[in-house]
Amino acid sequence: MLQSIDARSGQPAGAALPETTPEELDRTVRAAADAFASWQSSSGAARGALLDALADGLDSQRDALAAVADTETGLGLPRLAGEIGRTAAQLRHFAELCRQGAPYRTVESEAIAGAPPAGRPALRRVRLPLGPVAMFSASNFPFAFSVLGCDTTSALAAGCSVVVKAHPGHPQTSLRTMAVVQAVLDRLRLPAGLVGHVQGAGHELGVALIRHPLIAAGAFTGSTRGGAALQAAARQRPRPIPFYCELGAVNPVVALPAALEAGGAALAQGLAMFAGAGSCQYCTNPSLLVLQRDPVSDAFVGQLVAALRAQQPHAMVTPVIRRAFDAGVAAQLAAGARALLHEPTDAPAPRPFVAEVDAATFVARPALHEEVFGPSTLIVRVASVAETLQVLQAVGGSLTATIWGADEDTPDHRALVRGAMAIAGRVVFKGLPTGVAITAAQQHGGPWPSSTEPMTTSVGDAALDRFLRPVALQDLPDWLAARDGRPC
């Protein structure tokens, strides 16, 4: 059985829920495959109508959904109501992309008379929906990266059906969201299997889902360990399938003295704010600060520690994440980091942790490169641009990297920008990297270990591309050309 837990008290919340059986999993996936048969050829207007209706459904149930999610996650009603609004906005954004024909865009090469290489046949490159997508919900965003989050939205917009694997940390929230989905599908007279739902606490269900022969792709947001295991299962199938994971990231911030001298106090307060607002439970949380050894940076560290000491982070979304935070802190201390702020507690809400290490130690000890999910900040002190680049290279891959103070065109700043772009999917020059805009220029994904497919994004218009496979049609008949890229 699957038990919902009150995030603040650690006590059971409501009755236990049955876990999905292997037989139920098979029926759900087969229903998704049946629904895909017709949905793949749906029009942009039909896809847009569904996504708009789902957004309206979320808005109509915002207060009730936020209340359930607040019990299970402890994230607070204002934050959760805002997250529901973001999720609805994303659905409407992709609805408009569908109406504009984004999933059906084609590339043409006109015929040239004669034999190759001078001549060529007429070619049209179209994109075909992959099929049923297995979507694994995240723990820290019970709406924006969950049942109707970015993966489900972009898969439906691409013409795929979806089977959602609910996160065990908020099962009641997932069921309430699925009730909204099923009501919309029923009202629009669409197959109930277009968006399926399975739930279970163990990893066996997720592995069984990704191994089901009718699943055509997978999408995951969560830990590096969990995502890597599911990716391995996807690759080991008799017919391997694409599996798109958005995983952990330390999101380094290179803070140059000029930026700290101009506004270090405000930057310290901005960093500290996320410890209290969300216990730093964000995939883009800037948890690694790279600072030079100078008086300005010393003053900034003092401001940051003071600002974090004043914060009161709330309970973490699951007991598992809470225990992992303590384990991560212990691992950094064991690897040689020196604590600047460390107030251990057994409460559901952790205290902020700050530690410092020199560049050589950081580069040499892989344990320091691991993400500590929660209000943890590791400061790495460097003596040169060369050392800064070594630190960035040691990180390996991140969703974001931030450079404060590179406002002038200098050789050092160019080197830092090159180094940041080499490891991150998004490079930030002002403010903080938290928050992921839903727009055409967005990139939410980077080199391993931040994601498994750094050429793709899980947020923004290009998220569609993950679930569409290119096909070249040569000398296609007129009736097929008239469909303008819409699958038949």
So which residues are the catalytic ones? 246, 283
CA angle 468, 473, 478 (to 5 degrees): 115
> DSSP class of residue 120?
B
User: 183-192 long-range contacts, Cβ below 8 Å, gap at least 24?
Assistant: 183/57, 184/50, 184/53, 184/54, 184/57, 185/50, 187/53, 188/49, 188/50, 188/53, 190/35, 190/39, 190/50, 191/31, 191/34, 191/35, 191/38, 191/39, 192/31, 192/35
| Cα 154 to Cα 94: distance, rounded to the nearest angstrom | 7
Q: How many CB atoms lie within 10 A of CB 358?
A: 18
* Distance (Å, whole) CA 426 – CA 445: 8
CA distances from 430 to 267, 294, 410, 452, 455 (A): 10, 22, 18, 27, 24
Helices 62-73/171-187 angle, 10° precision: 160
Spatial contact of 254 and 403, defined as CB atoms under 8 Å apart = yes
| Termini Cα distance of the chain | 42
Q: What are phi and psi of 178, to 5 degrees?
A: -65, -30
d(CA 65, CA 143): 9
Torsion angle, CA of 80/86/88/91, rounded to 10 degrees? -140
Closest CA to 241 of 268, 214, 265: 214
Contact 256, 403 (CB under 8 A): yes
Calculate Rg over the CA atoms of the chain.
24
- Which secondary structure element, helix H or strand E, spans residue 193, and what is its range? none
Whole-number Cα distances in Å, 390 to 35, 285, 288, 384: 50, 21, 14, 10
**Alpha-helical runs (H) found in 74-159:** 77-99, 150-158
* Alpha-carbon gap, residue 218 to 241, rounded angstroms: 8
Integer Cα distance of 28 and 302 in angstroms = 55
76 in the Ramachandran plot: left (φ > 0), alpha (ψ -120 to 50) or beta? left
